[in-house]
């Protein structure tokens, strides 16, 4: 079995998207608001995925699971300080 890379771009695939550079330019206050909204989206999408799965609606469950996963990845990007600005922070 191959070990998984520890590079940020491998662990969080949305880092490769051009839009992430725009998120880096947000003020800390704006980043906090966006992270809070994304957190709500993660929770809601995961609940909808579970509800869809329990109703045997597999395609919708997969859709909402993907929405939750992407929202979670973006939230992690927004919550951590920008590496391009020389800050060090948790990627939680």
DSSP 25: T
Contacts of 48 (CB under 8 A, 6+ apart): 60, 64
Give yes or no for a contact between 91 and 12, defined as CB atoms under 8 angstroms apart. yes
pLDDT-based confidence at residue 82 (cuts at 50, 70, 90):
low
Q: Looking at the domain assignment, is residue 64 inside a domain?
A: yes
Number of structural domains in the chain:
1
> What's the rounded Cα separation, in Å, for the pair 18 and 13?
12
Q: Looking at the domain assignment, is residue 92 inside a domain?
A: no
Locate all alpha helices (DSSP H) within the chain, ordered by sequence: 8-11, 19-24, 28-54, 58-79
Q: Looking at the domain assignment, is residue 43 inside a domain?
A: yes
Q: Looking at the domain assignment, is residue 57 inside a domain?
A: yes
pLDDT at residue 84 tops 60 = no
pTM across the whole model:
0.75
Domain of 52, in residue numbers: 27-81
Contacts of 75 (CB under 8 A, 6+ apart): 35, 38, 39, 42
Cα 74 off chain centre by: 3
Q: pLDDT tens-digit profile of 5-53? A: 777 777 788 888 888 889 989 999 999 999 999 999 999 999 999 999 9
């Amino acid at each position: 079995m191959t070990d998984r890379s520890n590079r940020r771009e491998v662990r969080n695939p949305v880092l490769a998207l051009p839009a992430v550079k725009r998120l880096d330019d947000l003020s800390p206050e704006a980043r906090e608001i966006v992270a809070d909204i994304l957190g709500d989206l993660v929770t809601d999408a995961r609940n909808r995925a579970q509800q869809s799965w329990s109703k045997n609606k597999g395609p919708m469950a997969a859709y909402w699971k993907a929405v939750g996963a992407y929202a979670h990845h973006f939230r992690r990007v927004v919550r951590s300080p920008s590496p391009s600005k020389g800050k060090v922070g948790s990627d939680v």
